[in-house]
Structure 1
Amino acid sequence: MQIAIMGAGAVGSYYGALLARAGHAVTLIGRAAHVEAIQSNGLTLETSSGRETLRVTASQEIDALKDAELVLFCVKSTDTETAGALMASVLSDTAVVLSLQNGVDNADRLAEVLDREVVPVVVYAAVAMPGPGHVRHHGGGELALGASTVSASLVRLFQDAGMAATTADDVTGMLWTKLVINCAWNAVSAITRQPYGALMAIDGLREMVMTVTGECRAVAQACGVVLPEDLEHSTLMIAETMAGQRSSMAQDLARKRQGEIEHLNGFIVRKAKVHDIDVPVNHSLLVLVRALEQGHRNVDIACR
């Protein structure tokens, strides 16, 4: 299958590598340095099993999407509409689009721009880019696809490529669950520049994470979303299962790039205002990350 990755950062490059290894024709569309490294030396995939280099097509040009049968949309939430507008004029009428993004409303926002169905996908993968042309897998990799006429066949395609993929009965609830976990940890890791495990050693941090989670749960309930009963436990477990990892937001700030705070804690703050709910800790995290981001906003389309 002809598969394109729109916004090929760490997440897009990881799944692109797995699909290329399975024999699909994969095109990565991303930043200049990443594209140039892939064009020169291939895409390096590093996992616990070792390191391998895969030959994939890489481009900075949106026209590279024109022959794609399947598009994995991996752009940061801040750039959904901008990237979608670029894609709209070149996509085939029959191309299937999946949104592999953080946040809960990207698929709907992208569908409106493209005027076609976009399938939301919940992504559970710890990946990073040590450098251009190099993606490192730290753990996870599961995909949960929202219901659509093509989801079952795509689940099989991903499974055949060695991925753990399923169709989600309640993709909205799963997206919200991931949103809450991201709200609890991403900004804290970004502000402190600390990995999750180290943060738990800080007196009062556990209570703050639980407060953020409780605020998010109240907002979700007001929005008619049912979250898992064990969400608080799952949120705290991140400090153990991903102890050595810093959040993607922390990595964005370290590279002086705009992160996704407006679509994580910022989303909760906006929804809370609609429902007249106080979310002071989410609001504080939002304002602090805004302050850190000020002065080094990157205008390029950001990749996951």
Structure 2
Amino acid sequence: MRYIVIGAGAVGGTIGARLYQGGQEVLLIARGPHYEALKRDGLRLVTSDSDEILPIPAADGPVPTRDDDVLILATKSQDTIAALAPWSSDLPVVCAQNGVANERMVLRRFERVYGMCVWLPAQIPAPGVIAAGGHPYSGMLHVGRYPQGVDELSEQIVTDLGKRGLVARSWPDVMRWKYGKLLGNLANAAEALIGHVPALTDLAQRARSEAMTVLDRAGIAAVTPAEEAEIRGHNVDSRPIEGIERSGGSSWQSLARGSGTIEADYLNGEIVLLGREHGVPTPVNEVLRREANRVAAEKLPPGSMPAERVLALIDERSAAGSR
């Protein structure tokens, strides 16, 4: 079985590297300077206690596929459709992405779709280099068939992922875990907008509380922080890597790269969508979604928006909604 990692960035690159180290056949799909570095030098995987160059094959676009290929999609959610468009719909797809919308989008075209809930702190400090900060394991990955269940392939994927440097588990209700992860990811936009200031904790909690009301009204189950803590334990503690400064989360990194896009529509925007469908106001998540998109489009750096301005906009939105 060959794993084709579409979007071999921080998360995808780490997953691909660990699969390769575990003896699996892997192909990394990347683009731009990152692809050029992977093709020329291989993937350099740096952790708190290791620094290794792995000669993993890389490509910058579709390649001839085989019947035993498995696609691991690790792009941002806004790139899902474009990233999968060139690939055969006969292949199974594992959505190793934040948010809960990707699996349903992919299922429109691909029959075999698997959800993956990813806990994996990593970043790209330079093209071709992945800094994986999780310790003692680089990441914990929950895998299950979408919309629910497990099968022979999902069990094989879990086995392969667990051979080197990752903890993998099989869950028939994987989307419940992904909704739990979504609640935590609602803080991504806030972190990207205002940075690590005291107001961040309160703003993140307000976004989460609002979302929990929405999920409850929609009848959607999500794992609790207690469940997450029990399963995660200290398997993926974040540990500093010498010589590499730890940046913010995935949305922070999008702004830092000046990519022009951000995932907010599929994180905070998911709560806004559900709120509109079920008649629940969502001023906190709506403002975070809207402002994150604006800042990304204007290519402003992370932390460029005063917390007071974000809070004022939320108050304005709340007041407008109550009239």
Measured against the shorter chain, the TM-score band is 0.7 to 0.9
Aligned to 2:39: 39
* Contact 1:81–1:113 under 8 Å retained in 2: no
Aligned positions of 1:26-65 closer than 5 A? 26-63=26-63, 65=65
Aligned to 2:132: 137
Aligned positions of 1:96-115 closer than 5 A? 96-114=92-110
* Identity in percent: 29
- State the one-letter code of the partner of 1:213: R
Aligned to 2:284: 281
Aligned positions of 1:245-256 closer than 5 A? 245-256=247-258
1:213 and 2:225 matched:
no
SS at match of 1:144: strand
CA deviation after TM superposition for structure 1 residue 57, in Å? 0.7
CA deviation after TM superposition for structure 1 residue 130, in Å? 0.6
Q: 1:62 to 1:210 in 2, by over 3 A?
A: same
CA distance in 1, matches of 2:228, 2:113: 32
CA distance in 1, matches of 2:278, 2:15: 38
CA distance in 1, matches of 2:206, 2:156: 40
Aligned to 1:302: none
CA distance in 1, matches of 2:107, 2:60: 23
SS at match of 1:87: coil
1:180 and 2:186 matched:
no
Aligned to 2:19: 19
CA distance in 1, matches of 2:257, 2:47: 23
- Deviation digits for residues 117-137 of structure 1 (CA, Å, limit 9, x no counterpart): 111010100010111110010
- State the one-letter code of the partner of 1:20: Y
CA distance in 2, matches of 1:59, 1:233: 36
Higher normalized contact order (CA 8 Å, seq sep 6+, divided by chain length) = 1
Give unpaired runs (5+ residues) of structure 2.
230-236, 240-245, 301-323
* Contact 2:43–2:54 under 8 Å retained in 1: yes
CA deviation after TM superposition for structure 1 residue 65, in Å? 4.5
Choose 3-12 or 224-233, whichever is displaced more.
224-233
* Contact 1:84–1:113 under 8 Å retained in 2: no
CA distance in 2, matches of 1:32, 1:64: 21
Aligned to 2:150: 148
- State the one-letter code of the partner of 2:41: N
SS at match of 2:108: helix
- State the one-letter code of the partner of 2:96: L
SS at match of 1:250: helix
Q: CA RMSD in A?
A: 2.3
Q: 1:263 to 1:26 in 2, by over 3 A?
A: same
Q: 1:281 to 1:293 in 2, by over 3 A?
A: same
Aligned to 1:238: none
